[in-house]
Structure 1
Amino acid sequence: MNRRQLADFLRTRRERIAPADVGLPVGPRRRTPGLRREEVAQLAYISTEYYTRLEQARAPHPSREVLAQLARALRLSDVERDHLHHLAGTPPGPASGPSREVRRSIVDLLERLPASAALVMSATYEVIAWNALAAALMEDFSTLGRRNRNLVRRTFLGPHPQGGRLYGVSDAEEFSRTSVQHLRVTAARYPDDPEVRALVGELLAGSEEFARLWADHEVAARPTLCKTFDHPAVGRIAVNCDVLDIADRDQRVVIYTATPGSASEEALRLLSVIGTQRMDVPG
């Protein structure tokens, strides 16, 4: 274990993460670049004292579980995760939890689809990347913390912005079933991940509907080929829904497109101009 290099590596990774990247407020008194030590400790589910000792090169050998939690909290790439394990004197193993890091090429792809609403979801249905039209069609995810960017949690625990249906979608019941089926597969794939376990436990405790669907043990989700959004500014928008799997990251790219020449295509074009601004007039 190389305590000094491990300490320096943790500090530099911490300082590069903006609070907004993990759903934390900046605050008027923030002087530390990036995240504070206590914030990293909270995200990694370890004590602030222990994390501080790690950055001071005074801590004992961290366990594999702690290293996995630190890698997730600091949003490390696969290469950085392996480096962290080597610095700690523990050969890296397979990832213990779903990846939240989106490849730069995928982010660029979203931006190159200006006529389509596109986003990336993690294996737990957290929206981790999106383009401008997706924000206009659904909501401005940049204003939400990680908790409220999780579409499974929003579906079963609320709040619902469109009268009880998340984003006013036409396939709300089908989405509920599909998301539970996918989450069950994720829970089996990452049995030791504390975030996955906590999410499932929260949903089981807070939603009778989720508990009922979870008890079915269904894992064969059917693809959704089209759906309709009921948007508060431009009305109903019918879209085709295509999902592309990113196998090495266990992520999915969701792309919504309208039929060429349709009224929905015109509505999406209008949304691309409106963006995320509100169209209601104050009284």
Structure 2
Amino acid sequence: MNIWVLDMDSGVTLLYKNFMNLPVNEDLVSGLLTALNQFTVMEFKQGIESIDMGGLRWVYIPDKDSNLLFIAAGGKDTKAEMLRAQLNVIKQAFRQEYIEKNGEWRKNWNGNIEMFKPFKKKIEEFHSHWIAAETITTIAEFFDILGIFQQILNLLVNVIEDHLSSESKSNIYDRIDKMFHRFSNLKMVKEHPELSKITFSRDSGFNIISINPNNCDFMLVEKQIISLISSVVEIIKEEIGHLSSLDYFVKTNIFEYIFNNLNLLKELHLEQFLLQLFLTKQSN
């Protein structure tokens, strides 16, 4: 598996991490990959999703908000769905580390790609987990669930940061801090250490994508993350009211994200849960 993070317009490689040796120059490959995607966008009005080329399977995931293109290459025996799920986890982690934290990061970026090199360690961690878990047939679904829930949590942080008063923001964060303190002391968390990787801080927000799928009970983790998201949404609704919450959920593009990913959410049986969570009024 090899990973590229590219600027969609220029084709500049922000980050490249290889686990396979390719007999070509990585910069030439980057230019070719970007050009292929630009060609399909111009000619067919949509980018490449996956392609078999040069004895490898390639998967593309564009991120229009940041104008970045995430690409993964694996052996031809690698399922495109699996490769896409893993790449999506990398994309979410990269966004959280360099984009969500820094806002208008591109305006402040001086073109030095050295700032992205530390992220290679994170990719190595993910890769080691995935190698160990290759025999688990439901791993792709698990990655999809983690990616969706991480993005929902990121959007909820945007609601709090971008739309609420300082007082409401402080009240909500105080309640979330207390909730995580209780969570960390649960016997269940001590018995299942991977749950302790569900974290929150006021500086960096929520993080659930560091969980090692090889060391956890999928159903247990999903249940706890669903409980976490439900609690955060209810805390927001209790603080500012149902109608104001709906307004900010719309403005922060939560519903747009749900509808743009509706097919995947249906496959994962999450669409009804998310729509009810954000649309319905909390019970008294």
- Which TM-score band applies after superposition, normalised by the shorter structure? under 0.3
Structure showing greater radius of gyration is: 1
The answer to which structure, 1 or 2, has the higher relative contact order (CA under 8 A, 6+ apart) is: 1
More helix by share: 2
Normalising by structure 1, what TM-score? 0.26
Normalising by structure 2, what TM-score? 0.26
